[in-house]
Structure 1
C-alpha cells in the first residue's frame, strides 16, 4: 500500500503519474487517487501493483498502523472532485513540465522523506475520507485556510486534523487548469508556512468524489488487434475456423462464396451454409482448409509458407483452390498476387476466375474453364493466428496504382509536355530587326529584267 521514496528530483513525480496513467480509465467502482507524504518519515510499507483498487478497510488498517503512537498533525487537502486522469491531463508529465498545474505538489513530494500513492482508492461517498481520518486520529477535522492558519495555535503534543477544501472546475479545459493551478498554490503556501514554523506534518491530497466516472462496459466491449473483422456485428456470420490440437490454425471469411457450373447457370452461394472441415490440416509449412457442404460441394484451399531471401522474411501463398461437385473436379492456381507476409492475413474484395482473374485454371482441364468462382470480400489466414477471434493485420490485393490513378498520371504528364513545348516555342520567338517606316522613303526592290 505504501512505498518509500527511492527516487530524487522529478523522477518520483513522473513515476507516480506514470502509474496513474497506466491504470484503466473505467471501472465498475468509482475511485479517487490518494497521495500522502510526510516530513517525519512515518510512511513505510509495501506497494500494491498497478491496477489494484484499495478498499477503505485496507486504508484504515494502514493509517491506524501509521498513527498508532505519538501525536501527529495531519493536513488533508480535500478537493471537490479528483481523478487520476486530472494528473495525466494537467500534470505535464508527458509534455512540457513548465505547463504543469501541480508544480508545488511535485516539489512537496520531492522534498518529503516518504511518500504513499494509492492511484485507485475505493470511493465511499462524500464523507468517506474525512470520517476515516477522524476515526483513526480521534479528533474532529478543523476547517482552515491560508489566512486562518497563520493565526492558529497548533498543539504539537496532541493529534490535529486540519482540513483544507479545494474547489474543482466545471466548464472548459483551460478553466480546469487554472483552478488546479490555484489549488496548487494554496498547497504550496500552507506547506511553506508549516516549514517556516518548523512543524512536522503529514499531508494528504485526495478528492471528495471522482471527477470522471466511465462505465466498465464502454471499455470491455473494445476488442484488441487490427483486422478487417475487428468489430463483429451480431448479424454478420462468424468466420470459418479450423482448430488443430485445440489451437486456432486456419481462418476464412467471405461475404459470398459464389460458384457456377457453367457461364449461363445461376450462382450458388456456399457462404450461406455451414460446412464441415473434414480433411483439413495444418503445420508449420502447409495448410489445407477443406469445406464440405451438405449440397455436395467440396471447396478446398491449399496454402504454403516459405522463406524468401530477397525480403528476408516468410510469406504464405494461396497455391490452389479446388472445387468438387458430383463427379466434376476443377482446380485453380493463385498466380496473381494471392500472397501475404506470414504474420498477416490476405484480403481481397473480389477473387474470381473470369474478370481481372486472380485464379487461373490449373493445366488444360476443360472442367476448370467451365466452372466460375467469385468470392466477395474474401479474407483468409493459414499461419500465425494469435487467437481464435481476430484475423491478423490484412494485406489487401488492391494495388496502389489503380487504372484511374494511371489515367490521371498519364493525362497530367501529357498536359505537362504540351505546356513545356509551348513555353519552349514562346522562348524561341525573335523580334524583327527592320521595320518599314511609312513617313520615310519606301523600300524599293529593284526588279531585274
Structure 2
C-alpha cells in the first residue's frame, strides 16, 4: 500500500470538523455522505466543493460506481433515516482537539484508519443507492442489524452489495439514536473484517434532518427607508420550482393613444406551464383576466429564463407578451418583448432563493427599435420570490434580495456624512494654521534694542 497516499486519511476527520465549523449556520440543504475503504485510495475522485451540493446522478456516476464496483471488492451502505452536516457539529465533539468522535466514534475510527472521503451535501442520496443496486455486478443483500448480517452467506470470495438500514430515532434523543447507529456500524464492520472481507463502505442519510431546516428569510438586506413587505400572496409549485408572487401591475404606453393599466390577479395555477430541469428553468407566469376598469380583455405572459452555473444560478432574460391590444404601428408589437431591469443583480448563489419586494422592469425599446411605439411601458412584480433549483424540505431557503448594495437612502446618509466631515476637516485645518504673534516684546524676556543712526 502506498504510504504517502494513505497519510491524508489520518487527519481526515479533523479536516471534516473544520469544514463543519466553517459552514456552521450556513445554507446546508443536503445530507452528508462519508466513504472509507481499507484497500482503495480515493484521490482519483472528483474534488468536493462544500458549498455546491452533489446531486444524486453525479454521486452515483462519479463516486459510487468507481468506488463500489471494483472487481473482487464488496460494498456496504449504511443508511440512516435522517442526517445533516450539523449533526456532526453537535454530537461529534468536534470542538475538542482530543475528541474520540463523540456519538460518531466508530465512524471516526474507520475514517482515520482507512482511506476516506467526505461529501458535506448530497441531494437525494437514496436515489443514487437505488441506481447502484440496479447496476451492481454481484449479489445484493439487505439487513438491519448485526444478527441479520451474521445470517447472510458472505465470504471473501463473493462480491456483494450490503445495504444496512439503521434504526430510526423513534423515542430516543437524536444523540442517543446516532450513538446507537454508530455502534451498529462498528459491530458490522468488525464482523466483516473477521470474515476477511474486503469492502468499501458509505454512511449517509435518506434525507436531511427536519430539525435542521431553517426558516425562510425574505429580508431587504441594506434597503434603507424601505416599506415593510406584506406576506399576503400566492405560492406556486411550478414543476419543482418554488414561486411566490403577491400581485402584478402592467402599464402599456402606446404612442398616440391612452396608456393601458392592468392589475393582474395571481393564482396558484399561474405558473403551471413552467419547465424545470437540472441546469435550466423556464418560469412562465400566465394571466388571462387582465382588464382595465372592468373593460377589455388582455392575456399577459411573463417568462423568466434561468440557468444553473456551478455555485450560482442566473436570471438570463425576462420577456413580456400582451395579447388583446391593437398594434400602435407597423413595427409595434408586445409579443415576446424583452424587459430590462436596470441595475438589479440577477445572479444568485445556488443555495438561495431570489426575492424582490417590488421588481419594476421596462420594455427594452433601446435594444429593440421595433418597440419604440411602446416606450415607457413597464411591468411591476410585487412580492416576488423564486427558487428554481435546490428546493428541499418544502420551503424556500434564505433569500438574496434584489436591492443593490447602495440605495438612495444609503447614498443620502453617505453624502450628508461627507459634507459634515468636510466642514469639520476644513475647520480643524484652519485652527491648526493659527499662529501666535511674534512681533511684540516678551515682557519677561530680554528687551529688544534697535540701534538708530544719528544724523
TM-score of Structure 1 vs Structure 2, range by shorter chain: 0.3 to 0.5
**TM-score, normalised to structure 1's length?**
0.46
Structure with higher Rg: it is 1
